[in-house]
Amino acid sequence: MFQVTRLAAKAATLGRKVVNNVEKGKLKPENFSEQLDTFYQNAMDMAPSQKGFFKKIKAWITAFKENYQKTKKGIKEDVQYIKEEQYKDNYITNPSKSADKKFTKAAKKFVMQIYKLQMNNLKSEIKRLKNH
């Protein structure tokens, strides 16, 4: 679960930065890609930009909780989907517990890598938009 926590924290921090930079005029939402626009809208739905220090902390914690729940649920669903598809494609009907556990671990690692790549893509897009 530690990886999920780190992903949720990165998403909360990145989301709050995007919201604050849009409010300051450093980023223009009309230049966002579809993925970044969705990310920005989700961050705005959780908590719009705040001025006070304690309100900012509360907004970050709210965003973290939402991201944690979404990420945990998304990883679980993605791993289950990968397992079902692979078992169906390879005509496996009753895998042993140890084999299933190993495959679940490998699928979870794969899904986490995809989530990390998506976060890195968002970060690089934000940097590129900020520089232009």
Q: What is the percentage of the chain residues whose pLDDT exceeds 90?
A: 68
> Where does residue 71 rank: exposed (0-12), middle (13-18), buried (19+ CB within 10 A)?
buried
Residue with tokens 């084999």: 99
For the cut 60, the answer to whether the pLDDT of residue 72 exceeds it is yes
Per-residue model confidence (pLDDT) at position 92: 84
pTM: 0.82
pLDDT for res 1: 57
49 against 107, higher pLDDT: 107
pLDDT at 70: 93
